[in-house]
Amino acid sequence: MSTVVQRRLPIGAEPGGGGVHFRVWAPFRGSVDVVIEDSTAIPLGKEQNGYFSAVVEFARPGMKYRYRLDHGDRLFPDPASRFQPDGPHGPSRIVSPSAYR
């Protein structure tokens, strides 16, 4: 994936002008997918140094998401989540940091 995205924060879900850019560090994994509100799994592209990322155009602030590792059955919250409305083991929620002072 060669899409260049200007981020304010190094990891997590970051809304921007064309959806949401997801980026997570998972150096010992072969693949990472993001699953947004029970949609199909969207594969993240592998970057250097153990990072995975992708822009998901339909994603918006307020939507919940989780990560799937190595095509497994379990879904995990974002370790860099900015909001966990259902507790630390529930899905993460996309938040726009620029919406707050």
Report the CATH number that the domain containing residue 86 is assigned in CATH.
2.60.40.10
pLDDT score, position 59 = 95
| pLDDT band (50, 70, 90) for residue 100 | confident
Q: Is residue 6 part of a domain?
A: no
Residue 56 covered by a domain: yes
Note whether residue 101 is domain-resident: no
Q: How confident is the model at residue 3 (pLDDT cuts 50, 70, 90)?
A: low
C-alpha torsion 19→35→83→12, nearest 10: -60
pLDDT at 54: 96
Number of domains in the chain: 1
Average confidence (pLDDT) over 37-50: 92
The pLDDT value recorded for residue 80 is 94
* Residue numbers of the domain that contains 66: 12-95
Burial of 69 (0-12, 13-18, 19+ CB in 10 A): middle
pLDDT tens column, 12-21 = 999 987 899 9
Q: What is the pLDDT of residue 2?
A: 40
Domain contains 1: no
Instruction: Examine residue 7 and state whether it is found in any structural domain, yes or no.
Output: no
pLDDT for res 99: 76
Q: 3-state class of 98 per DSSP?
A: helix
The reported pTM is 0.89
Whether pLDDT at 1 is above 60: no
Residue 3 located in a structural domain: no
Q: Residue 68: inside a domain, yes or no?
A: yes
> Which pLDDT score is estimated for 56?
95
Judge whether 55 lies within some domain.
yes
